[in-house]
Amino acid sequence: MEPTSRPIYVTQPYLPPLEEFIPYLQQIWKNKWLTNAGPFHNELEAALAQHLEVPHLSLFANGTIGLVVALQALRISGEVITTPFTFVATTHSLLWNGIKPVFVDIDAETFNLDADRIESAITPLTTAIMPVHCYGHPCDVDRIQRIADRYGLKVIYDAAHAFDVRYHGKSLARHGDLTVLSFHATKSFNTFEGGAIVSPDEKTKQRIDYLKNFGIADEVTVVGPGINGKMNEVQAAFGLLQLRYLEDGKQKRRAVDRRYRTELAGLPGIRCLPEPADTDVNYSYFPILVGPEHASSRDALYERLREHGIFARRYFFPLVSEMPMYRGLPSAAAENLPVASRVAQQVLCLPIHADLSVPDQERVIQLIKG
């Protein structure tokens, strides 16, 4: 197979027709209201809360600031139990709040925080658990909540991958004390950059809204050490437009998912992550594990795909626990994280997005088959 000049990326933002976005921009110019809870901002907050069936939602400039503020809003300190198999923003948000991450190994089937290992990591300094719905697959939310209730801990979910995922018929964003979403350009729903915090009650939402706006309550009153986390009107307008195409994009990604599963089934050394039970997933990621039985190692396959213009990603390699700012922690030792260490050495996320054509997907499949 000859290399191609057309690159194929793991994720690619869906861009609606430009002519549909122009009226939003014209309205922003007419309003002369660019940020600070403008009309489109408020409209998108309401639309997303309704779509996700959650009581309260606060928009943010990006998901990382959302994580930082969520920890501030719940006054988390001391130690927080989390996963090493995630994007660095999860753990960086802890460090930025002066909190010590405590890494716990992942489940071999879901790649999520292993609930069996949480209790043994709890110390008198533990104040919260921060699990990640990896690839949009639900964590063991019921068991995690029971553990949190038993020890008086808060639960903050990093749901950056899990927008619009439903579990047992209900929005996954309803679990935990807070859930943080990402609307980065690579996500199934995006606002260029962006994010949100889902909160259970109006009082918590008000505190979050103060914190994302410097702690300002009114012209003369600052109630807390807030930050600038506000989403602007252009981002919000793009989000409102994206909502129109959400279901169409999901069904197109579902078709890509199905084709991968069919074509790669039974291929030696290739394992697809099982679909979670009782879950309406968003088909935003397609991870495979490349085992020793495959003709190529994971890294050799990764390089081979790149040579043909296919930019698969090793999400998540290296583990966060192996990075310089975390590897000195006792919980970061590789012997404490055998499953995460193995998965990080084998995982490869394949291209999946609404605009991925059948011929381009076939290029990916044939290169994997060798």
pLDDT tens track for 146-180: 999 999 999 999 999 999 999 999 999 999 999 99
What one-character DSSP code corresponds to residue 35? S
pTM over 0.85: yes
Alpha helices, DSSP H, located in the chain: 18-31, 39-52, 63-73, 88-96, 118-121, 141-151, 202-211, 233-244, 246-264, 298-307, 338-346, 358-369
Q: Find the farthest-apart pair of alpha carbons in the chain and give their distance in angstroms, rounded.
A: 67
Sheet (strand 170-171) strand order: 170-171, 166-167, 279-280
Q: What confidence tens digit (pLDDT) does each residue in 214-229 have?
A: 999 999 999 999 999 9
CATH class, domain 246-369, is: alpha beta
- Phi first, then psi: what are they for 171, rounded to 5°? -60, 130
How far is 316 from 339, CA to CA, in rounded Å? Answer: 13
Q: Is the pLDDT of residue 294 over 50?
A: yes
Q: What's the distance, Cα to Cα, between the start and end of the chain in Å?
A: 10
Domain ranges for the chain: 18-244, 246-369
> How high is the mean pLDDT of the chain?
97
Q: What confidence tens digit (pLDDT) does each residue in 229-287 have?
A: 999 999 999 999 999 999 999 999 999 999 999 999 999 999 999 999 999 999 999 99
Buried b / exposed e over 281-293, threshold 16 CB at 10 Å, is bbbbbbbbbbeee
DSSP 309-325: TEE-B-TT-S-GGGSTT
Tell me, which fold does domain 18-244 have in CATH? Aspartate Aminotransferase; domain 2 (3.40.640)
